[in-house]
Every structure is written in structure tokens, then in C-alpha cells.
């Protein structure tokens, strides 16, 4: 049946509102919906944590780093290892989000769960007559992309009852080859070559229902999008550890810029249901392919630790100026490097932690705290409202570990984080829990 002209006009208007956002629509969802709008870059930020002992100490590990997780925290710390080690870490993850879009008094909540391999690898000390010379190879999952966003309620701007849901699954890690050597009794240096790999999968669904019968001959508009991104890149990390007096250690790291090659593909369809007919838009997967590069800036780390029998206290800081991120080989319709200078900020991720030995038990207890400020401040494309982070990301951590027969070790840590942000009419409250379990064997 032929669709009335006034109905077609409504359909076009609604689609334009969806594709080119205005105030009152769900900004967070639109951020991930359409690549033409220049979405928030997933490769920026999204730290996931590495290693049970390190995370039990709040990630204050740059100046400690004496196990496989030194591949990430500080490759120079590998020089402290005298025995061959095999190690693996599992990461169960829970995250709860509550979004207030249309009714601030009744936020919609969503729970995300996943279990990932956090790290695996081997440390190989080379016999020397003096000092230390150590190699290591392994994988660490360093970034977490898991996300769930929902909008449910009446959208007065569009005149529809709106139900919109989006989920993102994926993450990014690095296969690393590292080495460390003692240059003197008090100075160790090291480096790692990192081969980055990762993926993200997005699914977006929209239903707009004309429950108030605002439009003639129009009942429902339905939209569905699926994305799939693949990431790959390489960079270098250099590090040093200096032993001071009285159990003090000082450490520093620098990571070179990494250029990720991104292969983006997506599929979408839009369909409207009228009183007595269906009008559909449907594009095949092959029509939506895009390849580009994104270059992340230098990253710097600093740390200090103090160790006395039965006690270790540590601090670590990581600095990145995310405004220096740049696109390369990218169509101007997608976005520009100026987006990073305008919409991101430089951040310090600060870590505090400690470890204490329980007498006569062989058990070590750990606790820590770290701040992980949100780097993206917006506003997103099409909006005037910047993101107001009313409660920055903060994580509280606890952990414990022991060694059996001096060869088998097991460590566990729990990290609890929360943060809250507001953007226009969208308020999001996040709570997340991560559990790290690391097992290791020494030869």
C-alpha cells in the first residue's frame, strides 16, 4: 500500500533527529551509534588493571614490579627475579550502571558481567656471574570496553515513547617481549616491545512508539545497528629502577606513542510500522567498511616504594596528555584530530598501596586506592553540554597471597570502583567490581 506523504515526512524528520542529535535525546547512546558523528575513541583511557598482587596494592606497583606483571608496570623490575616463573591471571568482572534520561527520579539500571584472561606468560632469568639478566614474554589485557547504556521513557522532543539499548563488548591487550639488566648493584634498566591487539563489538537497538497517537498512520519506528572494530599496533616501553638507602626504591617509565590500525565495519537497518503497512530501509554489511589509524601520545610513569621486613608501602603515578591524540588516514567526514584537543584533557592516574606479612602464616595482606580521572570532557557532536563528572572514578582495593612449598603462589585481589557524570539530560551512575586471581609456579 502507498504510504501517505505526511507520514513519509514524519519518518524523514524522525530519522534526521536520530542521525543528527539535538538536546533531549540520549547523548551517551548517540556517542556510540553513528561513526559519522565522531564517537568517543575507545582506545583512549579505559584502564583495566593488571596482576592480582599489583591490584591488591591499588596498582602502586611501578617501584615494586617483581613478577610477570612487570611487563606492563615496569620492565626494569624483571631484573629482581632470580627463578624461572610461569604465571596466569583470571579476571571476573561485574559492573552496574544506572541512567536517568527522561525521569531522574527513576533511573534505569543494567548489570554487565564477564570473565577474561587478564595475563599469561613466562619469565626466564639468564645465569650470570654478577648482577641479573632476565627475559620475559607474555600477554596482558590492559583496556576494558564493556559498556551498557539504556534509555526508557517518553521523549517529549520527538513525541514518542522511547526504548533504546546499547551494549559494547571487548577490550585490548598487548603481547610483550621484555628484558631487564642490572647496570650496577643499585640501578636496573629494562624495556618491552608491545604488540597490541583488540576488538570491540557494539549492538544498538531503538524502538519509538507513538503511544500518544501524535502522528497519523505511524505506530512504531525501529532501528538496529551492529559494529565490529579490530585494533592492532606496536610501541616500546623503557624503564628504570634505582635502589636507595633504607629500603627505598625509585622508578620511572616512558611509553612511546602507539599507532593503532583500526578496521571498522557495521550493519544497520531502519524500519517503520504504520497502521497497515511496513516501510523499510536496509543496507548490506559490505556497504559499511572503514580503515584508519589513531596515534596515542607518550605516557609516563613514576613510582617510589619503601620496604622493611614484613611491610611494603608504595606510590605510583601515570601521566598522559590525551589532547595530543591524533587521527591518521581518516576521512574528514568521520572526525578530526582537533576533536581531541577540544574534548579531552590530560590526566594523572594516582596509585597508593601497601602489603604486610602476617607472622607465622606465610600470608601477605594488601590494600590500596587509586584515582582514574575520566579523560573525555565533551561536548559530543551536536551538543552544547560538556560532561560534568560529579564523582571522579575512584577504586578501593584489597588482596591477599601466599606461597606453597616455595614454588607455587596464589594471589587474589578485589577492586571496587564508582563514578558519576552528567551530560545534558543524561545522568549516569557507575559501580564496578573486578576480582583478580593469579597463580604462579617457580622452577
Q: What is the mean pLDDT of the chain?
A: 81
pLDDT at residue 7 is higher than 60: no
Residue with cell 517503520: 272
Question: What range does the domain containing 98 cover?
Answer: 5-442
pLDDT tens, position by position, 75-112: 999 999 999 999 998 887 777 766 665 555 555 666 77
Reported as a pLDDT band with limits 50, 70 and 90, residue 27 is very low
pLDDT at residue 10 is higher than 90: no
Cell matching residue 72: 606492563
Closest by Cα among 53, 179, 168 to 119: 53
Say what the pLDDT of residue 304 is.
Answer: 98
Mean pLDDT of 221-238: 88
Closest by Cα among 43, 82, 90 to 199: 43
Closest by Cα among 174, 177, 173 to 136: 177
Query: b/e string for 148-179 if b means 16 or more Cβ within 10 A?
Result: bbbbbbebeebbbbbebbbbbebbbbbebbbb
Say what the pLDDT of residue 104 is.
Answer: 53
pLDDT at residue 212 is higher than 80: no
Say what the pLDDT of residue 328 is.
Answer: 78
Residue 356 neighbours by CB under 8 Å, 6+ apart: 310, 311, 312, 364, 365, 366
Count of structural domains, the chain: 1
* Residue 160 · residue 209 · CB < 8 Å: yes
Euclidean distance between CA atoms 337 and 328, whole angstroms: 8
Range scoring the smallest mean pLDDT among 87-101, 182-196, 223-237, 281-295? 281-295
- Our measurement of the distance from residue 442's CA atom to the centroid of its chain's CA atoms, rounded to an integer in Å, reads 31
Closest by Cα among 68, 168, 80 to 118: 68
Closest by Cα among 64, 17, 21, 10 to 316: 64
Range scoring the smallest mean pLDDT among 160-164, 267-271, 395-399? 267-271
Say what the pLDDT of residue 103 is.
Answer: 54
pLDDT at residue 22 is higher than 50: no
pLDDT at residue 26 is higher than 50: no
pLDDT tens, position by position, 324-382: 998 876 654 555 667 788 888 999 999 999 999 999 999 999 999 999 998 888 776 55
pLDDT at residue 433 is higher than 70: yes
Please give the residue that has the higher pLDDT: either 269 or 349: 349
Mean pLDDT of 384-395: 82
Say what the pLDDT of residue 120 is.
Answer: 94
Name the pTM for this structure: 0.85
CATH of the domain at 166: 2.40.160.60
Residue 427 neighbours by CB under 8 Å, 6+ apart: 99, 100, 101, 104, 107, 420, 421
Euclidean distance between CA atoms 16 and 264, whole angstroms: 23
Say what the pLDDT of residue 144 is.
Answer: 86
Through-space distance between the first and last CA atoms of the chain, rounded to whole angstroms: 76
Amino acid at each position: 500500500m502507498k504510504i501517505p506523504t505526511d507520514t513519509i515526512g514524519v519518518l524523514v524528520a524522525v530519522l534526521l533527529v536520530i542521525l543528527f542529535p539535538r538536546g533531549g535525546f540520549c547523548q551517551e547512546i548517540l556517542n556510540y551509534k553513528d561513526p559519522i558523528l565522531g564517537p568517543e575513541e575507545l582506545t583512549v583511557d579505559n584502564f583495566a588493571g593488571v596482576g592480582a598482587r599489583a591490584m591488591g596494592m591499588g596498582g602502586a606497583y611501578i617501584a615494586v614490579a617483581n613478577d610477570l606483571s612487570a611487563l606492563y608496570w615496569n620492565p626494569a623490575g624483571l631484573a629482581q627475579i632470580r627463578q624461572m616463573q610461569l604465571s596466569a591471571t583470571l579476571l571476573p568482572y561485574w559492573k552496574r550502571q544506572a541512567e536517568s534520561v527522561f525521569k531522574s527520579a527513576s533511573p534505569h539500571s543494567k548489570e554487565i558481567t564477564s570473565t577474561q584472561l587478564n595475563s599469561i606468560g613466562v619469565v626466564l632469568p639468564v645465569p650470570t656471574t654478577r648482577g641479573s639478566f632476565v627475559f620475559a614474554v607474555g600477554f596482558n589485557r590492559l583496556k576494558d570496553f564493556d559498556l551498557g547504556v539504556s534509555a526508557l521513557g517518553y521523549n517529549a522532543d520527538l513525541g514518542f515513547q522511547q526504548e533504546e539499548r546499547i551494549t559494547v563488548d571487548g577490550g585490548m591487550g598487548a603481547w610483550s617481549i621484555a628484558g631487564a639488566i642490572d647496570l650496577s648493584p643499585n640501578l636496573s634498566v629494562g624495556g618491552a616491545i608491545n604488540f597490541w591487539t583488540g576488538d570491540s563489538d557494539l549492538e544498538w537497538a531503538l524502538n519509538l512508539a507513538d503511544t500518544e497517537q501524535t502522528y497519523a498512520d505511524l505506530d512504531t519506528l525501529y532501528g538496529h545497528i551492529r559494529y565490529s572494530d579490530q585494533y592492532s599496533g606496536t610501541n616500546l616501553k623503557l624503564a628504570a629502577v634505582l635502589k636507595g638507602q633504607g629500603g627505598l626504591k625509585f622508578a620511572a617509565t616512558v611509553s612511546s606513542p602507539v599507532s593503532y590500525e583500526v578496521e571498522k565495519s557495521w550493519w544497520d537497518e531502519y524500519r517503520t510500522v504504520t497502521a497497515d503497512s511496513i516501510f523499510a530501509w536496509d543496507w548490506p554489511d559490505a556497504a559499511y567498511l572503514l580503515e584508519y589509524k589513531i596515534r596515542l601520545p607518550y605516557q609516563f610513569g613514576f613510582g617510589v616504594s619503601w620496604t622493611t621486613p614484613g611491610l611494603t608501602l608504595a606510590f605510583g603515578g601515570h601521566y598522559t596528555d590525551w589532547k595530543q591524540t591524533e587521527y591518521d588516514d581518516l576521512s574528514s567526514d568521520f572526525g578530526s584530530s582537533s576533536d581531541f584537543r577540544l574534548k579531552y584533557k590530560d590526566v594523572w592516574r594516582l596509585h597508593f598501596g601497601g602489603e604486610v606479612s602476617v607472622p607465622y602464616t606465610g600470608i601477605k595482606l594488601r590494600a590500596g586506592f587509586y584515582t582514574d580521572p575520566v579523560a573525555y570532557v565533551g561536548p559530543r557532536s551536536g551538543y552544547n553540554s560538556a560532561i560534568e563528572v560529579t564523582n571522579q572514578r575512584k577504586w578501593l582495593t584489597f588482596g591477599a597471597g601466599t606461597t606453597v612449598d616455595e614454588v607455587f603462589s596464589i594471589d587474589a585481589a578485589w577492586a571496587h570502583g564508582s563514578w558519576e557524570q552528567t551530560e545534558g539530560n543524561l545522568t549516569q551512575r557507575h559501580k564496578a567490581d573486578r576480582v583478580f586471581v593469579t597463580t604462579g609456579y617457580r622452577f
